[in-house]
Chains A and B, each alone.
Chain A
Amino acid sequence: MSKSDSKRQAILENAYRLFRAQGFDGTSMADITSQVGGSKATLYSHFPSKEELFVECMMAALENYMSDTLKHLDASRSDPQAALRNFGTSVLNFICSPEQVEVRRLMIAEAARSGTGKLFFDKITALRSHVSSFLAECMASGMLRRDDPDLAADHLGALLEAEILEPLLLHVREAAPDEQETALAARRAVAAFLRAYAPAVPPIKAPTGADAHVRRAHPNER
């Protein structure tokens, strides 16, 4: 790592810590300089504005988060429902955290002017492609009906965000949801998703007479 790279890394780490502790508005470039040392000019030579520094910090956070969250999908191929729920909870915990709500606000606010919205969207797309391949496997194994896995991933994402994200973005609610709330929201979203993508099954004949007891449980009842 060159001297300049390590300086950049130090700036990012300190800035991230400050942004998390004090929020975007509560953190000034001067605060960051005083933590990292060196001059304000050096800071500005790496990051021309507080907005850009913030976006960089949050992109780095997003990278770390993605590798953690995607583990949920890799870990439990044996139980896709649990995998989706754990994944969904982890997604919600991340995107509903105060700094991620703030970064999304900033991206949306700046979307018309800068290219950062596109950068952020590329990250979302990368995450989605992992989800799509997981869903494609579920479709191949017959656990989900066959459809476009990218579309299914968009639908899953939208259902996950449906209850909580908009009130947070619009500041109708301030407090981030706790783990219990995100787990419940993820559970409802995943249940709705699994119903909407359940494999088509032939209608079950109504059990009659003597062989009623041998009726096999519908897969979804187990």
Chain B
Amino acid sequence: MKTKTESKRQAIIQAAAEVFREVGFERASMSDIRERIGGSKATLYNYFPSKEKLFFEVMHQAKELELEAITGELDADADDLKRKLVHFGQKFMTALYSPDAIAVRRLAIAESRHSDIGRLSFEQATVPIEKRVAEFLRETMKRGALRTADPKMAAIHLLSLLESELLNRVLLGVIDAVKPESLSGAVRRAVDVFLYGYERR
């Protein structure tokens, strides 16, 4: 078996990203992807044992770029805390509720018992964001702008409040696409309620 190269790996991911974008996950096949890059099916499977793994990799690369974009502005200077949280919430929700991200999340849950996609998605997407938000909240608490509490728990509460109005509706397929105005409304209401509970009073 030939040794795997990073450039080949990237070429496959690139081709897969195009195919997934064009026809969606369900209708995309490993053959479609192979056709685009050439080479044998065996080679493709040697790099990625399943369409799910490949899909996850595509999404993950997009996410890594996103993580910095989403959390980049969370630095604990004395700027308006509410404005900062709303801004963060808006980016977080926009990234999480794009049709692609919803597809990947459904897949991660559906396949979690048969593959490690669920674990990968938790470790590489959920946890890093949670950590970054917790750090920010810890600094903000130190600065005195929030009451002292367990920052990790506060981060989990903030993130789940942000999702509270949309999560079940979207995952269970009650609504297909989230309107920008319901998204920003949900973010505003979640940040308000979070601050009401965590601000010093």
A and B from one complex:
yes
- A residues at B contact (CB < 8 Å): 25, 105, 107-109, 111-112, 117-118, 120-121, 124, 151, 154-155, 157-159, 161-163, 166-167, 169-172, 188, 192-193, 195-198
A162 touches B172 (CB 8 A): no
> Total contacts A to B, CB within 8 angstroms?
99
A158 touches B161 (CB 8 A): yes
**What is the CB-to-nearest-CB distance from A178 to chain B, in angstroms, rounded to a whole number?**
20
**Which secondary structure dominates chain A's binding surface?**
helix
**What is the CB-to-nearest-CB distance from A190 to chain B, in angstroms, rounded to a whole number?**
12
How many chain B residues touch the partner (CB < 8 A)? Answer: 36
Q: Which of B2-10, B43-51, B87-95, B114-122 contacts A (4 or more CB under 8 A)?
A: B114-122
Closest B residue to A163 by CB, please name it.
B156
**What is the CB-to-nearest-CB distance from B178 to chain A, in angstroms, rounded to a whole number?**
14
Closest B residue to A111 by CB, please name it.
B173
A117 touches B173 (CB 8 A): yes
A172 to B159 CA separation, bound complex (whole angstroms): 18
Q: Which of B56-64, B74-82, B189-197 contacts A (4 or more CB under 8 A)?
A: B189-197
Q: Beyond A105-B110, A154-B165, is A112–B173 a contact (Cβ under 8 Å)?
A: yes
A121 to B153 CA separation, bound complex (whole angstroms): 27
B109 touches A109 (CB 8 A): yes
A117 touches B193 (CB 8 A): no
A151 to B167 CA separation, bound complex (whole angstroms): 13
Contacts A112-B173, A159-B160 known; 7 new A-B pairs at CB < 8 A: A105-B112, A105-B113, A111-B171, A170-B121, A171-B112, A171-B113, A197-B196
23 residue pairs A–B, Cβ–Cβ below 8 Å: A107-B172, A108-B171, A109-B106, A109-B109, A109-B110, A117-B173, A117-B174, A151-B165, A154-B165, A155-B164, A155-B193, A158-B160, A158-B161, A159-B157, A159-B161, A166-B122, A167-B122, A170-B109, A170-B126, A171-B113, A172-B118, A172-B119, A195-B196
